[in-house]
Amino acid sequence: MSEKTIVDARGAFCPGPLMELIATLKNIAIGDEVDVWSTDKGSVTDIPEWCKKVKHECVGVVEQQGYWSVLVRKAK
Amino acid sequence: MADNALYILLCSGEREKIQMAAMMAAVAAVSERPVQVFVSMNAMLAFDKNAPLATRYHGGAFAKLLHDQKAPDPMVLFQQGKDLGDLKMWACSMALDIQGWEMSHLDETLFDGPLGLTKFLSDAESGQFVTL
């Protein structure tokens, strides 16, 4: 059963949300997910691009009220 | 060093340029690109570990905005790049001599040692080179 960790990076400037995601990925198991909450517009493109480059899975990006939720699954 | 390595020659003491160098270094390092940063000239002054963070940088309008908006300090970003990726930082040996500084004047957790420009340029032949 995979677990989901929420990283509330709202208010953090680029590249803060990405760096918080990466630090969290180091401490979870393969298959677990991280839901990054970000108010940084760049996260919407930066996090999926980073996932593609380093071979993690970006499950989806959802716009919430005043922030974005970017869901990432640790793949390796 | 891999051919996708990023080499950053950081000479400016302006907050804006040091911020961009730190952002590039950190993001590239965590994106599986080896990164090396060579710090020289006015940029060296910003890495004086005895200087208060608030007075380390100078700059223009955007430097003030970065400070007022509490953007992440460049030193924190460099450290994150080192902790989470393959980022090496070198202090220009000439700039150290001119300043009369030893490596102990700089944050030892950030820097990997002193280096000459010749060695840095030689290593950088195999990668992408950026000057700030």
How does pLDDT run along chain B (132 residues), one tens digit per residue?
566 899 999 999 999 999 999 999 999 999 999 999 999 999 999 999 888 877 888 888 998 898 888 889 999 999 999 999 999 999 999 999 999 999 999 988 899 999 999 999 999 998 999 999
What pLDDT does B1 receive?
57
Give the global pTM: 0.88
| Residue B44 CA to its chain's centroid (Å) | 8
Q: What is the ipTM of this complex?
A: 0.79
Q: Within an 8 Å CB–CB cutoff, is residue B68 touching chain A?
A: no
Domain ranges of chain B: 6-131
The pLDDT of residue B56: 86
> What pLDDT does A27 receive?
94
The answer to whether residue B62 neighbours chain A at the CB level (below 8 Å) is no
**pLDDT < 70 positions in chain A:** none
| pLDDT score of B51 | 86
Instruction: List the B6-10 sheet strands across, edge first.
Output: B113-115, B87-92, B35-39, B6-10, B128-131
Supply the pLDDT for residue B39.
Answer: 97
What is the pLDDT at residue B70? Answer: 87
Q: Measured between beta carbons, which residues in chain A are less than 8 angstroms from residue B72?
A: 12-13, 16
Helix/strand/coil (H/E/C) assignment for every residue in chain B: CCCCCEEEEECCCEHHHHHHHHHHHHHHHHCCCCEEEEECHHHHHHCECCCCHHHCCECCHHHHHHHHCCCCCHHHHHHHHHHHCCEEEEEEHHHHHHHCCCHHHECCCCCCEEECHHHHHHHHCCCEEEEC
For B71, the closest chain A residue by CA position comes to A13
Provide, as residue numbers in chain A, all residues whose Cβ is less than 8 Å from the Cβ of B69.
Answer: 13
Tell me the nearest-neighbour CA distance from B22 into chain A, angstroms. Answer: 10
State residue B2's pLDDT score. 66
Residue B85 pLDDT: 94
Token reading at A39: 């108010």
What CATH number belongs to B6-131?
A: 3.40.1260.10
* pLDDT for position B31: 94
Name chain B contacts of A10, Cβ cutoff 8 Å.
none
Domain range annotation of chain A: 4-73
A48 in Cβ contact with A16 (< 8 Å):
no
CATH classification code of A4-73: 3.30.110.40
Nearest CA in chain B to A52: B31
Question: DSSP of A10-70, one letter per residue?
Answer: TTPPTTHHHHHHHHHHTTS-TT-EEEEEE--TTHHHHHHHHHHHHT-EEEEEEE-SSSEEE
Query: Which residues of A touch chain B, with CB atoms under 8 Å apart?
Result: 12-16, 18-19, 22-23, 26, 50, 53-54
The residues of A annotated with a catalytic role in the active site are 14
Between CA A35 and CA A61 the distance in angstroms is 9
